[in-house]
Amino acid sequence: MTLTLPTEEQQQALARAVNLAEIEALGRARLDQNALDYYVSGANDGHTLRANREDFARIRLRPRMLVDVSSIDTSTDVLGLPLDFPVGVAPSAFHGLAHPDAERATARAAASVGSVMTLSTFSNTPIADVGAAAGGRFWFQLYLLADRELSRQIIAQAEAAGARALVFTVDAPYLGRREANERRRFALPPHLSAPNVASRETLAGVDTDTGSQLTHYFQHLVDKSFTWADLGWLRQQTELPIVLKGILTAEDAELAVQHGCHIWVSNHGGRQLDTAVSALAALPEIADAVAGRAEIYLDGGVSRGTDVLKAIALGAQAVFLGRPALWGLAAGGEAGVRRVLELLRDEVRLALALSGRQNLAQVGRDLLKL
């Protein structure tokens, strides 16, 4: 299916949306089943997928009263990059399934509101094109490939395009079993490719008679032997800050710090190991172990400004959106992603004010009833 641009009526519906759930409904309605299955799928029974959101709802806030909240500051910074509010876009593959402008639209939207986009290795758009659209506001996510020379080339392309950090995904030596993708044999439509790692012709040759095209291709692509001992090799390839994405334990957080890396708490959107701990539940022990020696980020289940505050209170420097950005992209391209980020920015500001906090530095665990 070739995507069409949103109609004027759909654009008006996007402008009227008052929360991320409404934008999700609009985005879902514009996707074909192949794309929808890919974006929504979690691993196995989806327990971790659901826990990502449910665990945010379980934590209660302890607001303080009679505080001067006439001026609210939502700004922060990540690895020296100023953000207007503590929300970025997480790496997710194949934005071209959602909108013809694909990752370029997402990058432009993030930059326009003072956010940051993380570009996936499995983008539908070349790195250089996204870098040009991002205006210096992008990180690059890397899967370490069995072909080390190709990995070197990809890292060099990201650096040349202006990436501010290298985000190394550590939780996917194999892809989790996403049963909807297996059942319906997920495959990229013919007009899309993954230019960083595979040509359209290469993907067209991947077996899709059974199971997911991506799973078949991925299993031969990624280096499954890479360990903590190999991080020195990765450091030799780049001077960019390295962020390890997929950390869920204090033990691994300590090892990340020892290896000079920053930490992204994530369970891959519930798409890898089902019944793994939610990112939010893992965050306190990781923050305690790190004790300020590295920056910490989180993705998974964020849908409200109060979710952002809870993650900040538990030790995150910023949170990153996966699926919500894709729903916005499907609903309205660049304008849709921007609308998602603007709604969340305004919710963060309001949540700060109603909690009796003037800025993010005042958000700590005393805000929470755990």
Kindly list the catalytic residues. Answer: 268
Distance CA 166, CA 223 (A): 17
User: Which residues define the annotated binding site for glyoxylate?
Assistant: 38, 143, 178, 268, 271
Say how far apart CA 271 and CA 299 lie, in whole Å.
Answer: 13
Q: Can you tell me which residue has the tokens 């940051």?
A: 116
Rg (CA), the chain: 20
- Which residue numbers belong to the known binding site for FMN? 91-93, 120, 141, 169, 245, 266, 322-323
- Whether residue 320 contacts residue 89, with contact meaning beta carbons closer than 8 Å, is answered with yes
* The residue type at 30: R
Count the neighbouring beta carbons within 10 Å of the beta carbon of residue 198: 17
CA distances from 273 to 53, 104, 309 (A): 16, 30, 26
Is residue 48 within 8 Å of 276, Cβ to Cβ? yes
Q: How far apart (Å, rounded) are the C-alpha atoms in residues 36 and 31?
A: 6
Of the candidates 78, 10, 1, 68, the one whose C-alpha atom is nearest the C-alpha of residue 34 is 1
Binding site, by residue number, is 38, 91-93, 120, 141, 143, 169, 178, 245, 266, 268, 271, 322-323
